[in-house]
A and B are shown apart, each in its own frame.
Chain A
Amino acid sequence: MYRGPPDQLPSCLLDLNWEQTMESTGHFEAALSSVDGMAVHKLVGGLPHSHHVGVRLNSPPRPYLSMAGHFLQPQQAMGGLPPSGTPMPLTHLDQFSADLGRFSSFGGRNYGHLATQFGFLDTQKLSRTASSQSLQTSRLPVGREIPAQNRLQLDVNNGESMNAREESSVSDPTSREVSLGAPAWSSEKKRKAPPKGKAKEVGLANSAMDPPKVAEEDAKRCRSNEKNGNEDDALKPKVEQNDGSSSNGNGGQKQGRNTAAKSPEPPKDYIHVRARRGQATDSHSLAERVRREKISQRMKLLQDLVPGCNKVTGKAVMLDEIINYVQSLQRQVEFLSMKLATVNPHLDIDSLANLLPKDMHQTCVYAPPPCVDHPQQGASLHCVLPDGMETQSAVNLLDSTFHQGLSTHQPFLDGFESASSQLGTFWEDDLQNITHMDVGQN
């Protein structure tokens, strides 16, 4: 991560920093801000491809880390630079550790160690300097968001790295030894890269608190972040897409459907399914549920249709009823066709043809009130039959047909049993009629 091709750092910057660190604490704040502003800046500008900036932006304890990063980066980058360059990062480190010193004694101790070695300021003084704006801003998120354990770890890590740094700076501040210490840091940083949302907060806080320079820096940082973030930005949408497509492939489709549904004509085959609590939500069980709901809806309709079916419960019994009803209807058709066959031979085609339109009309139009067409028939029969006896028989017949009419127009409520009994009564009526007539004639 931190091994991107380092560009040459301007030595003037380092010199400046060196001088500034040699200044008194009163100027230290300014130095800090300038360092924070410019050094970071140049680093960023100089190392556009290092991910370091991106990481720094993306992590809440970023300011620290970034500083540490600064501090490491030049070391790495500077390879052959004179040892005078090292104090600059160390000032950063000092601020850093001073800030940490507030949280734990570790940092303080380490700092003290460092401070004594370099003949610098006290921890207290530095802690005062640490209350400079930029550090405050950097401290804020840490104090707020990093749990104590994390903080401790940070401190320990700082301590370790500082020790390493210390050793390197003391014994021989060459790039090799420093570079030994660097990877450990970077790996630590990597591990601790926290969520991204916080980073923006920090950035905002920074820009809000350090008026001109930091804002400028922020702007540039943003630009550099854009550069760096080309990868990130390219990655982010992909990740989101992946999330969208992988975690809820259905969700994506549903969204598509929703957008389609928002369009003026919603598709009709779209069935809104809601899983109740505790129900499975994968597509198979949803489809299965839809199927079952459709079937139960059909069953309900059939239940309304088939007489005597609305009392029973259970699918098997209901199916039984339906089967019985269908069978009874089919047999009724058979039976009626038989009856028609017995009636038919007495009608020749011509009379049938004459009869049909009228009867069709009657049966079709006047079907619902059955009493309407029978009086008509009766009237016609009365006209036709003048004889007394015959009128009597005719009236009898009429009565029977009337009964028939009533019985036929009765809905078949009780399945085949009632239907057959109905037909039985009908036959009895017919027989009675015939016997009546015979008696009358004799």
Chain B
Amino acid sequence: MQATKSFERAFLKHLLRGFRLSAVSYKSMSLQERKSAIKLSADVAMASARGSRKWTRGLITKLSKEDDHRSFLRLILGTEYERLTKPCHGSWKIPRSKKIVRRSLRVCSRRKNNLRAPHGVKSSVLARTLVEKRTHALKRLVPGGESLDGYSLLDEALDYVISLRAQVDLMQKLLTTFEASKLSALSKCTLPERKASFVGEAGIHQQKLTEKAQLRPKLTL
């Protein structure tokens, strides 16, 4: 249940390539821009390191929906871009008939109406609806999971979780190494410069803390 070494290596390679291509280290960038660029390159690195799965396709397609990401994606993926973002029948997108969708919606609404009725709500029905609700939530969470059914959704979720874990792990490691290297870079500087930089950094940290405080309630949802 661990991501393989080859996955980690490929992820780091793609990630750093993404950094270089998106030029995150330019000082002209704002923090938010830089953050989104890093996030994007991390996601793309994860997807391209994992290779061809349904969730990777879904992820890349989702990312390519935003206009400012598209050029970067085309840059980093190269020839793969067309293949990965092309809608592929049977894998992540199912052509739907309007008629069928309408009918199923009608059925769904009818079921809901039935549930709303106070009498005759069995526990088994309730449990099933709970499971269905969670399955829908999971579908929204796993990229490209909208068109998957029970087994394949769980399969993709499993794979996605493993990859995400590896991604988090690796980004953490990268962060520590960056900080260490930053330290070594800072140590070369003269004292006043360093002080200034420290003050600046503290300011950033402060900002981050407030952001984190904002983030927290969202996370505990």
Could you tell me which A residues sit within 8 Å of B by CB distance?
291, 294-295, 298-299, 301-302, 304-306, 314-316, 319-320, 322-323, 325-349, 351-353, 355-356, 359-360, 362-364, 367, 377, 380-381, 384-385, 390, 394, 397, 401, 404-405, 408, 412, 416-417, 420, 423-424, 427, 430-431, 434, 437-438, 441
Contacts and interface: CB of A to CB of B under 8 A. Distances in A.
Nearest to B28: A345
A341 to B, nearest CB: 4
A28 to B, nearest CB: 81
B182 interface: yes
A405 B175 CA distance: 10
Contact of A427 (B170, B201, B212): B212
Contact of A316 (B27, B134, B219): B134
Given A302-B157, A319-B134, A330-B141, 19 more contacts: A295-B154, A301-B158, A305-B1, A305-B161, A320-B134, A328-B219, A337-B36, A337-B39, A341-B24, A345-B29, A349-B25, A355-B181, A359-B181, A360-B9, A381-B184, A404-B176, A408-B169, A427-B208, A431-B205
A22 to B, nearest CB: 88
B179 interface: yes
Nearest to B39: A337
B106 interface: no
A320 to B, nearest CB: 6
B43 to A, nearest CB: 8
Given A302-B157, A325-B161, A401-B179, A434 B201 contact: yes
Interface in B134-152: 134-135, 137-138, 141-142, 150-151
Given A301-B158, A360-B13, A412-B168, A291 B179 contact: no
B172 interface: yes
B101 interface: no
B208 A352 contact: no
Q: Is the interface of B mostly helix, strand, loop or mixed?
A: helix
Nearest to A306: B161
Nearest to A324: B221
Contacts of A339: 175, 208
Interface string B187-216: 110000001011001101100110110011
Contacts of A431: 205
Nearest to B132: A316
Nearest to B218: A331
B186 to A, nearest CB: 8
B75 interface: no
Contacts of B5: 364
B77 interface: no
A57 B174 CA distance: 90
A327 B137 CA distance: 11
Among B26, B135, B141: residue with most chain A CB under 10 A: B141
Q: Which 4 A/B pairs are nearest by Cβ-Cβ distance?
A: A319-B134, A298-B154, A341-B34, A337-B39
